[in-house]
Amino acid sequence: MAANSAAWLTEAKAHPFQVKEAPVYTPEASEILVKNHAIAINPVDGSLQSKAWWSMNYPTILGQDVAGEVVSVGPDVTRFKVGDRVVGHAVGMATKRIQDNAFQAYTILQTNMASELPDNITYEDASVLPLGLSTAASGLFQDEFLKLQLPAEPRRSTGQALLIWGGAGSVGSNAIQLGVAAGYEVFTTASPKNFDYVKKLGASQVFDYNSATVVDDLINALKGKILAGAMDCVGFAGTPLTVDIVSKAEGNKFISSVKGGFQPPEGITLKSVFGTTIKDNHVGKAIYEDFLPKALKEGSFIPAPSPLVAGQGIENIQAAIDLQAKGTSAQKVIVTL
């Protein structure tokens, strides 16, 4: 096996990353070692680098989204074999182990956070999925959040509605598709330029989140429907508007949010999500093992948003993070290897 290299964060708020050698890891029970072919960038990566708000031991490696080829499997692993194409969520942010991070040539993945990748989906396209998918799933399906019916094929309609605030971003794109696959009628918000995009993902109705009447419009659209809950995929400006809608709709008064810091009025529950938590309960397996492989193969679930390639090689991780910090719309910055 070739030597490993990584984009190291040598100390708090260091810029740029230092590209240098990293260990070659051996997968343990329920783990696979993946040679990364594409790595995606998430807003949390730039935030961790520039603000150091998470407790980390330096030097460290960041990154959560990988797609690549299995090069070694743990002693008990039967679901994957060497040579398999996979996509997975690297959970080093939770485990604190450097081998569980994405910004390197080789990454350890837990088997319940990895999916087989069909030949017709490129590594580049697949790499946009993991953190957005896990975050959406954590808010929609975990027992302490919305606890929705799990996605399945064939789909089983619940007859209920689901509100996704901010449907065109990474989390929103996955939340829409997961909600539809779980049998819910999805109502979402986006900028007008992304209306067609979110409808293609399965949204029943979409509303302009910048409209002065967006709250009233959604309340009217939800009349006569039972709301299974809401997921705020934006936070901050979107949160109070989501709260306003949920408070006036009939049904579950629970909002899963990607950001906290807002105190809802009495009768409304608002709870912030963290994508890696699904590795520790039934939701990780339900999504990455039971649902996603078949859905990707059948084309009923598509990697979204589309990848924006910032460069090739570990040395381009910093440029990719800097590009992501400038903001993207219905795209996710990636690096190929």
Q: Is residue 88 part of a domain?
A: yes
**Cα dihedral across residues 111, 112, 114, 117: positive or negative:** positive
Predicted confidence (pLDDT) at residue 1 exceeds the cutoff of 80: no
Cis, peptide link before residue 27, omega less than 30° from 0: no
What is the structure's pLDDT at 43? 93
pLDDT at 238: 85
pLDDT for residue 153: 82
Please report, in angstroms and rounded to a whole number, the separation of the first and last CA atoms in the chain: 16
- Residue 330: the pLDDT is 83
| pLDDT of amino acid 54 | 82
Instruction: Please write the tens of the pLDDT for every residue from 26-72.
Output: 999 999 999 999 999 999 999 999 998 888 889 999 999 999 999 99
- Per-residue pLDDT tens for 234-254? 988 789 999 999 999 999 999
141 in the same domain as 120:
no
User: In this predicted structure, what is the pLDDT of residue 53?
Assistant: 84
Whether residues 121 and 139 fall in one domain: no
- Identify whether 290 is part of a domain: no
**Residue 291 covered by a domain:** no
Q: What are phi and psi of 79, to 5 degrees?
A: -75, -30
- Of 236, 270, 46, 17, the C-alpha closest to 54 is 46
Per-residue pLDDT averaged across 85-106, rounded?
97
Spatial separation of the C-alpha atoms in residues 254 and 259, rounded to whole Å: 14
> Do 50 and 81 belong together in one domain?
yes
CB 134 within 8 A of CB 79: no
Q: Percent helix, strand and coil across the chain, each rounded to 5?
A: 35, 25, 40
- Pair 149, 266 in one domain: yes
CB count in 10 Å sphere of residue 205 = 17
**Cα–Cα distance between 84 and 181 in angstroms, integer?**
26
The answer to the question of residue 294 being in a domain is: no
Residue 236: the pLDDT is: 80
Domain count, the chain: 2
Which range marks the domain in which residue 51 is found? 4-129+303-336
- 188 and 270, same domain (yes or no): yes
pLDDT by residue (tens digit) across 254-275? 999 999 888 899 999 999 999 9
Kindly state the average pLDDT of the residues 297-303: 96
The pLDDT tens digits for 127-173 are 999 999 999 999 999 999 999 999 988 889 999 999 999 999 999 99
